[in-house]
Every structure is written in structure tokens, then in C-alpha cells.
């Protein structure tokens, strides 16, 4: 016969608050990842159609680049957190509707972390230099998605 003994090292409310905060962060990560995956698919379609180049003057490309930038908002503070990463990548897979594999999503995620300076914070008033830097980063990221 086995006995189970539970010992509490803190208040139940503190533990439940911590669990709730972690669950909320993971839900946010998955939601942001889903938006990211969707924007990436749309960008990839334009990238392929344009001879594997990014045309930031194209309204659809720019709109999707802005959506991608928005979806990256939590990466600066949470991107290295393994739980956030797992949830974000799960969202990317969902949002990409099969266009990304687990491996390609992981590679894209890592590259997005390295490209935060070029891709995060894009806005309608971004300079031509910022748009050019974003296009370069996007080309690198989209090349990781496949043929």
C-alpha cells in the first residue's frame, strides 16, 4: 500500500497565482505565435511569387510585415524562456496551417530572435532604412521555410 503525503511550502494562493500567470503567458505566446505563423505564410507566398525577394512597397507585404512585427512583441522579454518558446512555436504551427514543420518553425523562431532589432517595432512611419533592414531580415527568415 502506497501513501501520498503533500507538504505545502507556501500559500496555496501564491502557488495558484504563479500557475495562473504561467498559463496566461503561455496562452499569450500561443496567440502571438498563431498571428506570426499566419503573417509568415502570407509573406512567404509574396516572397515566392516575387522571385524570392521581399518588396516592402507592396501593400500586402507591408501589412503582413507589420502583423509579424506586432506578433513579435513578447519575444524581447520572453523569447529565451523555454515554456514561452514552446507555446509560441505551437502557435506558429497552428497559424501556418501546415506550411511550417516543427524544425522549420524552431529555426524561424531562433532567427526572429536574432532579428528583433530589424523586425520589432515596425510602424506605418518606419523609415526607408528600417523597411530595408526588415526586408533583409525577412528574406533570411523566409528562406528557412522551404521551397
Domain span holding position 31: 20-143
Look at residue 12 and tell me if it is in a domain.
no
pLDDT tens string 48-64: 999 999 999 999 999 99
Rg (CA), the chain: 19
**Model-level pTM?**
0.82
Written as one string, the DSSP assignment of 27-93 is HHHHHHHHHHHHHHHHHHHHHHHTTS---TTSHHHHHHHHHHHHHTTTHHHHTT-HHHHHHHHHHHH
Asked if 99 and 43 count as a contact pair (C-beta separation under 8 A), the reply is no
CA distances to 14, 21, 30, 83 from 17, rounded to whole Å, are 5, 6, 20, 17
Look at residue 79 and tell me if it is in a domain.
yes
C-alpha cell at 28: 499569450
Look at residue 5 and tell me if it is in a domain.
no
Look at residue 75 and tell me if it is in a domain.
yes
Look at residue 59 and tell me if it is in a domain.
yes
pLDDT beyond 90 at 72 = yes
Look at residue 15 and tell me if it is in a domain.
no
pLDDT beyond 70 at 146 = yes
What number of other Cβ atoms are within 10 A of residue 20's Cβ?
A: 10
- Alpha-carbon distance 68 to 62, whole Å? 10
Look at residue 69 and tell me if it is in a domain.
yes
Q: How confident is the model at residue 141 (pLDDT cuts 50, 70, 90)?
A: very high
Per the structure, the count of domains in the chain is 1
Reduced to 3 states, what is the DSSP secondary structure of residue 124?
A: coil
- Alpha-carbon distance 138 to 51, whole Å? 14
Look at residue 109 and tell me if it is in a domain.
yes
Amino acid at each position: 500500500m502506497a501513501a501520498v503525503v503533500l507538504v505545502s511550502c507556501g500559500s496555496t494562493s501564491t502557488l495558484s497565482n504563479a500557475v495562473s500567470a504561467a498559463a496566461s503567458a503561455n496562452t499569450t505566446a500561443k496567440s502571438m505565435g498563431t498571428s506570426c505563423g499566419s503573417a509568415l505564410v502570407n509573406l512567404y507566398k509574396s516572397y515566392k511569387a516575387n522571385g524570392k525577394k521581399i518588396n516592402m512597397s507592396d501593400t500586402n507585404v507591408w501589412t503582413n510585415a507589420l502583423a509579424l512585427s506586432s506578433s513579435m512583441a513578447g519575444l524581447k522579454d520572453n523569447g529565451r524562456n523555454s515554456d514561452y518558446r514552446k507555446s509560441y512555436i505551437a502557435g506558429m504551427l497552428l497559424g501556418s496551417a501546415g506550411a511550417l514543420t516543427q524544425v522549420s518553425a524552431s529555426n524561424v523562431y531562433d532567427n526572429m530572435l536574432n532579428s528583433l532589432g530589424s523586425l520589432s517595432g515596425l510602424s506605418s512611419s518606419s523609415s526607408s532604412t528600417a523597411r530595408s533592414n526588415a526586408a533583409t531580415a525577412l528574406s533570411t527568415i523566409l528562406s528557412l521555410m522551404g521551397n
